[in-house]
Amino acid sequence: MSDNQIFRCRKILLDHGWSDDVLLGVDDQGLITSVTVNASKNSAESQVVNLDNVIIPGMPNLHSHAHQRAMAGLGEQASGEEDSFWTWRKAMYHTLAQITPDQLYHIARMLYLEMLRAGYTRVAEFQYLHHDQSGSAYANRAEMTLQCAKAASDVGIGFTVLPVLYRYGGFGAQEPGDAQKRFINDAEGFLEIVSCLERDLQKEMTLGIAPHSLRAVDKNLLQDVLDATDKERVVHIHIAEQMKEVDDCLDWSGQRPVEWLYHQFSPDPKWCLIHATHMDKEETEMIAKSGAIVGLCPTTEANLGDGFFNASEYFAHKGRWGIGSDSQISVSPIEELRWLEYGQRLLTKSRNVLAGREGDTGHTGAELYRQSTLGGAAACGVKAGSLKVGNLADFLVIDDSSPRQTGRSEDDFLDSMVFSGNENPVSAVYVAGKPVIVDKQHSERAQIHERFREAIKQLSQ
Ligand SMILES: [Zn+2]
CA 339 to ligand 1 center in whole angstroms: 17
Average pLDDT over residues 139-163: 98
CA 65 to ligand 1 center in whole angstroms: 6
Q: At what angle do helices 364-379 and 410-419 cross, to 10 degrees?
A: 80
User: Percent of the chain scored above 70 by pLDDT?
Assistant: 98
| Across 74-78, 211-215, 308-312, 416-420, least confident range | 74-78
Instruction: Say yes or no to pLDDT of 225 above 60.
Output: yes
Q: What is the pLDDT of residues 349-384, one digit of tens each?
A: 999 999 999 989 999 999 999 999 999 999 999 999
CA 209 to ligand 1 center in whole angstroms: 14
CA 126 to ligand 1 center in whole angstroms: 7
Higher pLDDT, 460 or 336: 336
pLDDT of residue 323: 98
CA 93 to ligand 1 center in whole angstroms: 13
Phi and psi at residue 60, in whole multiples of 5°?
A: -75, 140
Higher pLDDT, 5 or 44: 5
Q: What is the pLDDT of residues 184-202, one digit of tens each?
A: 999 999 999 999 999 999 9
pLDDT of residue 283: 98
Q: Is 5-57+386-445's fold the same as 59-379's?
A: no
Confidence of residue 306 (pLDDT cuts 50, 70, 90): very high
Instruction: Say yes or no to pLDDT of 44 above 70.
Output: no
Q: What is the pLDDT of residues 9-29, one digit of tens each?
A: 999 999 999 999 999 999 999
Confidence of residue 45 (pLDDT cuts 50, 70, 90): low
Which residues, other chains included, contact 26 with Cβ-Cβ below 8 Å and sequence gap of 6+?
A: 3, 4, 5, 6, 7, 32, 33, 393, 432, 433
The separation between CA 149 and the C-alpha centre of its own chain, rounded to angstroms, equals 15
From residue 254, how far is each of 248, 260, 277, 279 by CA, in Å? Answer: 9, 9, 19, 15
In whole angstroms, give the CA distance from residue 295 to residue 272: 6
pLDDT of residue 460: 87
CA 110 to ligand 1 center in whole angstroms: 19
Phi and psi at residue 370, in whole multiples of 5°?
A: -60, -50
Instruction: Say yes or no to pLDDT of 114 above 80.
Output: yes
The catalytic residue positions are 275, 326
Asked whether the beta carbons of 106 and 451 are under 8 A apart, the reply is yes
Q: What is the pLDDT of residues 326-350, one digit of tens each?
A: 999 999 999 999 999 999 999 999 9
Q: Which CATH code of 3.10.450.50, 3.20.20.140, 1.10.3720.10, 3.40.50.720 fits the domain covering 59-379?
A: 3.20.20.140
In whole angstroms, give the CA distance from residue 237 to residue 211: 5
Instruction: Please count the CA atoms within 13 angstroms of the CA of 41 that sit on its side-chain side.
Output: 1
Average pLDDT over residues 223-244: 97
Instruction: Say yes or no to pLDDT of 120 above 70.
Output: yes
Per-domain residue ranges for the chain? 5-57+386-445, 59-379
Average pLDDT over residues 50-79: 95
Mean pLDDT of all residues in the chain? 96
Helix (H) or strand (E) holding 262: helix 257-264
* Fold that domain 5-57+386-445 belongs to in CATH: Urease, subunit C; domain 1 (2.30.40)
In whole angstroms, give the CA distance from residue 368 to residue 272: 18
Cα-based angle 201, 202, 207 (whole degrees, multiple of 5) = 55
